[in-house]
Structure 1
Amino acid sequence: MAQSPFVTIRRDLHQIPELGFKEHKTQEYILQYIHTLPKERLEVKTWKTGVLVKVKGKTGQRTIGYRADMDGLPIEEQTGVPFRSSRPGMMHACGHDVHMSIALGVLTHFVHHPIDPDLLFLFQPAEEGPGGAEPMIASEEMKEWMPDEIYALHVAPEYPAGTIATKPGLLFANTSELFIDLTGKGGHAAFPHETKDMVVAAAHLITQLQTVVSRNVNPLDSAVVTIGKLTGGTVQNIIAETARIEGTIRTLSAESMQKVKKRIEALVQGIEIGFECTAAIDYGCNYYQVDNDPAVTERFISFMKSQEDIELVVCKEAMTGEDFGYMLKEIPGLMFWLGVGSDYGLHHAKMNPDEKAIEVGIQAVSKYFQSLSF
């Protein structure tokens, strides 16, 4: 049995992962493929390293949007597959190669089988950071082609290949990066009284940060404050003049995000006073919650349940973050999980999606968009 051309595309893209707003080869690959398609119904624009493609419908009275993200992650791949990343220290460990191949499959189908609405395919850069969705939707290119509804999927290693899972309302959390830099006074380990030790200050702050969720967030709400990295000092007998704490914040409401940040800022101010140091907080990349439109999602779920070859799961919300939330903030639509049955999860060096999910994704989205032709 011949390999699907969209599996081949996925493998090609898998070999050239690029970081946010540096997806030059990926953009070139997508444009080259699109240029092989019949051009009568196609209009193409670029935005930064992204691509916008409109497939003209029979009437064009409405526009349906579909978004696929493009960037990879700074991870050294350990899958051992023959089409592994050709770029040291970079990998498509979040499935964006699968996302793009499915989008190209759906696009190709409707170039040859047009429906009443126009279709707008958005190949969006920088989902992993610093965030491409918010500036893309605010761009002049997008304003000219603003869709009436918008859709996207994300691979889910925990579900069997081809399973579709979603829910009305909140699906993904609000997220924020967290970077805290502490500066004191270094010195010889034998004379601690002449220094301001930032390793000790950082240790106290990390412990205090663990109280934010347990003591400052309503138990009926949900939030996460995780510190994933601590750096400080130079060698074992020098008291550290600086320390850096890096982590992430996740909440199920925008209001809780602001409350958590306010509490973090108060704790940091206390550290400044208590340890006679200075501190700087940087929240880095922030993503708005993915909030699926209830009416659109119920229609989508009803359609997928009617398909004999689709396993539809109504799932719970997750603390994952996705900048597609900024698009759903402006346009009614939804995101759904697509199972890819991998033993290793998202952002893991051994994440290896089952490629059978690609054809399922193409067929499911194509059939659903066909049902919107009215």
Structure 2
Amino acid sequence: MLNSDQLIEIRRDLHQIPELALKENETHCYLKKIIAQMDQTNLEIKTSPDLQTALLVRVKGSDPNKTIGYRTDIDALPVNEQTGLSFASKNSGVMHACGHDFHMTVALGILSYYSENQPKDNLLFFFQPAEESENGGKLAYEQGLLTDDWLPDEIYAIHVTPDLPAGTIGCRMGTLFAGTTEVNIDLRGKGGHAAYPQAANDMVVAAAEMIGQIQTIVSRSINPIEGGVITIGKISAGTIRNVIAGSAHMEGTIRGLTQKMILLIDQRIQEVGAGIAKSFNAEVTVELNQGGYLPVENDPVLTKELITYMQENSEIQYEETEPAMTGEDFGYLLSKIPGTMCWLGVEDDSQLHSATFNPQESAIYAGVKAFIGYFNKRMKAGKKN
């Protein structure tokens, strides 16, 4: 089994070669190289010509009743690293600012243990591309990578957080992460001279009114004890100060803790768009794209068992956490396969996605040990839930 020092070295290697969604070619090759150094007796590897950077590793169980899945994401973010570390990113403008280098290393640590200690049940490790964008989990599922012997009966994943002490496991019943939807809005009216507004149809005014109405959706259309967020983060219109803009474009994001909430917000934005179109005699197009970024809704039975194990193990520091409005495409896999995602604390002053994010490496081995212990317990349970 890979020891703590070896895992840290692997993490640093991975940290230096971050790659964007669906371009994780060097990362894919590195993962295969590390896995090739493990005992291959009970391992089977699967790749896909349609999703070339995806990598699945199946560990054959000695007396299987089920297949336990473990998913890790492998892509990085378009962030220019500013940590000053000796093992900082070698790829300009790209960084593992979301901790996926940690995620991969923890997965490799767990896999290395079971390559030397044959599990009772089958284990499936899914090194998934394109979590940050392009919804790689949804792509893999729809392309049939997770079928037959490669379809787990239950699935697990972690996500690092700087807000918990290094090595701490954080989880909760219900929704851990929100689902997200991209919003693109186009308004089309009629441009004209600023001195003759009556001869034009100003889409700056229409866009301003629409933004104001959109902001009332959360405050007036949603139960205040439920969670929802709408942000219009980008707007563009016009060319010069004395020309009335005949068109406007807006981009934003929706966040909701349940799929029902997201669909309600989707509906209300479309209704607001229809109302703006009528009241301003304009054409308004609302485009909504959720892809695979569904809410991360933890399975109640499996999550209760995981939390109980983490709480009762004296070697593990566990904290119950609040739901977060961050998005994760693991939610799509959880909509198809029962499972659980939890946090792994890495304690840092910088937040996820920041150029100075520098998580504590002592968390890696703690995460590996916690999940080996939990999986061993799950395998003693015998039958599928």
TM-score, with normalisation over the residues of structure 1?
0.94
What secondary structure, in the 3-state scheme, does the structure 2 residue paired with 1:101 have?
A: helix
Tell me the C-alpha RMSD between the 2 structures: 1.9
Indicate the residue corresponding to 2:284 in structure 1.
279
Provide the residue aligned with 1:306 in structure 2.
Answer: 312
4+ residue runs of structure 1 moved beyond 4 angstroms?
none
Superposed counterparts of 1:162-181, under 5 Å: 162-181=167-186
Q: Secondary structure at the residue paired with 2:145?
A: helix
Q: Provide, for residues 1-55 of structure 1, a one-character-per-residue CA deviation record: whole Å limited to 9, x for no partner.
A: x972222222222222222222222212211221222221111111312110011
* Alignment-mate amino acid for residue 344 of structure 2: L
Residue 324 of structure 1 corresponds to which residue in structure 2? 330
- What is the CA deviation profile of residues 298-320 of structure 1, one whole-angstrom value per residue up to 9, with x for unaligned ones? 21112112222211112222222
Point out where structure 2 has 5 or more consecutive residues left out of the alignment: 381-385
Query: 1:14–1:243: structure 2 CA closer, same or farther, 3 Å change rule?
Result: farther
Q: 1:53 to 1:199 in 2, by over 3 A?
A: same
- 1:123 alignment partner AA: F
- Please tell me whether residue 263 in structure 1 is matched to residue 263 in structure 2: no
In structure 2, the partner of 1:86 is 90
Q: C-alpha displacement at 1:366, in angstroms?
A: 1.4
> What stretches of structure 1 of length at least 5 have no aligned partner?
none
Relative to structure 1, is the Cα distance of residues 344 and 118 closer, same or farther in structure 2, using a 3 angstrom cutoff?
A: same
Match of 1:65 among 55, 59, 69: 69
Asked whether 1:153 is paired with 2:158, we answer yes
1:291/1:113 CA distance change after superposition, 3 Å: same
Partner of 2:207: 202
In structure 2, what is the Cα distance between the partners aligned to 1:88 and 1:239? 41
User: TM-score with structure 2 length normalisation?
Assistant: 0.91
Stretch of structure 1 that moved more, 149-158 or 16-25: 16-25
How far apart, CA to CA, are the structure 2 residues paired with 1:167 and 1:71? Answer: 26
Contact 1:130–1:285 (CA<8 Å) still a contact in 2?
no
Give the direction of change, closer, same or farther, for the CA distance of 1:303–1:110 in structure 2 (3 Å limit): same
Q: What letter matches 2:378 in structure 1?
A: L
Match of 1:134 in 2: 138
The alpha carbon displacement at 1:74 in A equals 2.1
Inter-CA distance 349–238: structure 2 relative to 1 (3 Å threshold): farther
1:213 aligns with 2:218: yes
Supply the distance in 1 between the matched residues of 2:4 and 2:111 (Cα, whole angstroms). 19
1:361 alignment partner in structure 2? 367
Contact 2:4 2:365 in 1 (8 A): no
How far apart in 1 are the matches of 2:356 and 2:362?
A: 18
**d(CA) in 2 for partners of 1:321, 1:116:** 34
- Alpha-carbon deviation of 1:77? 2.3
CA distance in 2, matches of 1:275, 1:14: 51
Give the structure 1 partner of residue 383 of structure 2. none
Which residue of 54, 69, 76 corresponds with 2:58?
54
Q: What letter corresponds to residue 107 of structure 1 in structure 2?
A: L
